[in-house]
Amino acid sequence: MNSAQTDDWHIRLARRGDAAAMPAIEREAGRMFERLDGLAWVSWQEPVAVDRLERYIARGHCLVAQAGEHLVGFLVTEPFGRELHAYEFSVHPDWQGRGIGSALLRGCMIDARNSGFTAITLTTFAEVPWNAPFYRRMGFVDIAAADNPRLAGELAAEAERGMPAEARIAMTCALG
């Protein structure tokens, strides 16, 4: 995917057929971790499986960024009561720095608010520049895992899969 192809992109709701393109985007975005001391291993992680992505998409709150005929980014979410949890958020490195990530997240916030959700939640790396610092700029705040048992469970499951617990945090963005 060459960024010189076009700068014309848009976001839209994900469709089932989009799931097949998402792992490649996640894999390429994950390669950015190769340049971070102690986190290069993240780039070797398997992306979210297509069948799981299809299940998220079926719930109706996943967004993609499309440029021409190609997907260049996506935000995969799942509802939990009145909260919408962001499970995977990736923009292809060739397309970063153009506002695509911000547009996907803002679109998610609008969709969630219009659908009656009270918050968006996620777990992320506390110090990686395109993780927690980005989310804070977008209105997210850190939340103590003890204050949200579901998020505590997410962080515990991540730790079991090898994520460094001391580097991970839970965040929320109220949609009031």
Q: What is the pLDDT of residue 7?
A: 65
> What beta strand segments (E) does the chain contain?
9-13, 63-67, 70-80, 83-91, 119-125, 141-143, 168-174
Q: What's the count of helices (H) and strands (E) in the chain, helices before strands?
A: 5, 7
CATH number of 9-174: 3.40.630.30
12 in Cβ contact with 64 (< 8 Å)? yes
Q: Considering only CA atoms, which of 111, 131, 1 is closest in space to residue 66?
A: 1
Handedness of CA 58, 28, 161, 128 (dihedral sign): negative
Q: What is the pLDDT of residue 118?
A: 97
For residue 171 the two structure tokens come to: 């965040």
β-partners of residue 86 are: 77
- The reported pTM is 0.90
- Low-confidence residues in the chain, pLDDT < 50: 1-6
